[in-house]
Amino acid sequence: MRRLRVLFVEASSGGVVGGSLTGLYHLIRGLDRERFVASMALYEPKSIDEDLRALGVKLYRIQRRRVPKQHALLELEGYRRAKQVGAVARALRWGRQGLRFSVEELPAALALARVVRRERPDVIHLGNGVRANFDGVIAGRLTRTPVICHVKGFEKYTARERRAAAKLDAVVCMTQAILSYCRENGVVGRRNRVVYDAVDEAGFRPRRDAREVRAELGLEPATPCLGIVGNIQEWKGQAVVVEAMARVHAALPAARCLIVGGAHRAGAEYERALRRRVAELELQDVVRFTGFRTDVADVINALDVVVHASVRPEPFGRVILEGMLLRKPVVAAAAGGVPELITDGESGYLTPPGDAGLLAERLLPLLRDAELRGMMGARAQQEARERFSLQAHVAGMTGLYCDVTGSN
């Protein structure tokens, strides 16, 4: 039987390995090597390159120039005023879109088309959504290769994205919430599917005993502790957790909170404000900043409760699944795709985004009752394994590849 060839395209920049590339890496790890051959086009060197090569993935590098978002005209008051006029704003938007197409997208599309002709894939899998992968859509049209586009966020769409999506063989969304959003905005392909992302349990396991990690973090074995894990940036809602922790501490003085993660480059001032607020509330010994950690599974395993507090809709919420897999009850902000991950009151709790009071109310019973944590954590792990396993994700994606290409 001839193996199906899949070319993955991952167009992210900024020197980081984000959720899109991580998800594609785990998908490739789960592919049946007797049925599929994977190659990947990247737009910059990534720290995960060697891991991909170790899986037998042939890597291609696409050079893509970037039109700078910041320019000298932004400093001129007259320019800023002109941008407020509707006709001028539209003209500037069309002009920038044309510049982006000629400088960024068309040259990258031609380079990617050369890779497609060399690699001769049966299907192209675009990993970054319609807007960021517009050149991938063009390359697919130029080479008459079936294209699947993976949408993992709530993006702003224009007529351009709607026209591009209509040419796609499939739009695959990581949650039902994203699929609904795409449909509401007219971003619809020939096929439209939900395939939930997954956390590879085999690759997300604690390496150290929880007591050892707690000791390192300055926590006694019996100290009730919650934590929020992720880059420190305003929309992630660490400030909501700090306010909730003031209420928790008043009712349960022994409780502690960890803010786990480094400051995003756009979140440096936000982190400083967080630390000032912790000091104002006299919670310096209660709320602790761990900084960036590479041992996320170890840290989550040392917590009693995982908190997700994003103040705007989260497309998915990978850290929620990570907590669930490690048998932790998760209290999460109910917006975006998050309500699809948790059964409220059974595998965790859902709270309104930004509501520190209700967040504290949900946290207190869990911090006080180890038996309740154990029951809810066991249910959380069961749900994560049944609904969000890597095997289920791979089956969904490979079924789509076969559908698009007409293969068995």
| Same fold: 4-198+390-403 with 203-387 | yes
Domain ranges of the chain: 4-198+390-403, 203-387
| pTM across the whole model | 0.86
What is the reported pLDDT for 91? 59
Strand-by-strand arrangement of the 305-307 sheet: 287-291, 256-260, 225-229, 305-307, 330-333, 348-351
What is the reported pLDDT for 71? 47
What is the reported pLDDT for 72? 47
Instruction: Please enumerate in sequence order all residues whose Cβ is within 8 A of that of 267, keeping only pairs 6 or more positions apart, or say none.
Output: 231, 232, 233, 234
**Type of residue at 4:** L
In this structure, how many other beta carbons lie within 10 angstroms of the beta carbon of residue 106?
A: 14
Query: Is the four-CA dihedral 91, 93, 95, 98 of positive or negative sign?
Result: negative
What is the reported pLDDT for 97? 64
Q: Name the architecture of domain 203-387.
A: 3-Layer(aba) Sandwich (3.40)
Listed residue (223, 224, 160) closest to 187, CA to CA? 160
Query: Residues 387, 321: contact at Cβ < 8 Å?
Result: no
Task: Tell me the CA distances in angstroms from 273 to 260, 267, 269, 357, one per residue in order.
Answer: 16, 10, 6, 20
CATH number of 4-198+390-403: 3.40.50.2000
In this structure, how many other beta carbons lie within 10 angstroms of the beta carbon of residue 261?
A: 25
Q: Is 80 left (phi over 0), alpha (psi -120 to 50) or beta?
A: alpha
pLDDT per 10-residue tile (average), the chain, 408 residues: 91 76 90 95 90 94 71 51 58 59 82 96 96 93 97 91 96 96 96 92 91 94 95 93 97 96 81 96 95 92 97 92 96 96 96 97 97 96 93 95 90
What is the reported pLDDT for 80? 55
